[in-house]
Structure 1
């Protein structure tokens, strides 16, 4: 049985060990998915000596079961919808439109919150972009993030996670160039089960982590 991570920082250090081939390279950028992916990404960026940035993603939850992702949106108008799940749950176009409107407003709010005038987006064009989250269950957020990032012209997109289901690589195979995961257990119910401390990462936590990095270079 896979042992739990102590917390997100511990998970980030374990993930960085799996990414050593990208250490100390000028062509690597690390992007954390707010909010929970940012503390993990910080440890990865620090270990690799790479710039750190955020890529804002919002999950589209089924209206009567918000924790169940029927899709996700990301910066740059990227959209991923799990059409099979939507059919199974009976979500109507009207219900989807309401969720989309709410989440687009939240995405814009977080973009403004995390992207102050002194912190422009790190350029990913022609570089290896490592997208980091604290784990995933459905892969919806990672798919949306990868699709948003692809439009910015990276040479390679790497999805990097501490933990994900055993079939996670198959779920996002068409959207990323490489998938790296510390653990992919068969018995998977939620990301939180693999952390001793899975406390909420707040907006203030994300801002504090970003404040530790150089606004000009993004280096952790």
Structure 2
């Protein structure tokens, strides 16, 4: 049954999301998630076979909302693709300046599970990052930029590098700098004017 049609499952995922994002997956027990959801642990295990399945569901629930948010920032910005992509970074910097920001949930989870590459949450995180990269490559191709797939990968590297650096320094200026670098990269991929003739 899809989450939208299963309020108990959604309630568990919502509780897990709050706790896992705030404290990390390793520090949060299944008991804590059940308590936060106002349910018994038995009910939680009825909906999720294991904590690993719950961690994967937590990330999966963040996938489409995160992608939609970034696409919205891109679309709402006026100007060329350089400005549109830089707007994603500027908005991420704004979000990162909020006191409750704890970093990219996908990267933080991957870091906690680094010794478990086959974990279902790692697969969800990899799919999320690949979906963003694919969407970005399509947007770059639609705007006639050169090497759109390579460009999208470079932008993703800048973004994830900025996320990692911000976790260390707690300074959102790094994501602003990465956004500036992404804009420069995009401008370098604009075809020469005479190439169309």
Query: Aligning the two structures, in what range does the TM-score lie when normalised by the shorter sequence?
Result: under 0.3
Look at both structures and tell me which one has the larger radius of gyration over its CA atoms: 2
Normalising by structure 2, report the TM-score.
Answer: 0.25
Which structure has more strand as a fraction of its residues? 1
Which structure has more helix as a fraction of its residues? 2
Larger RCO: 1 or 2 (CA < 8 Å, sep 6+) = 1
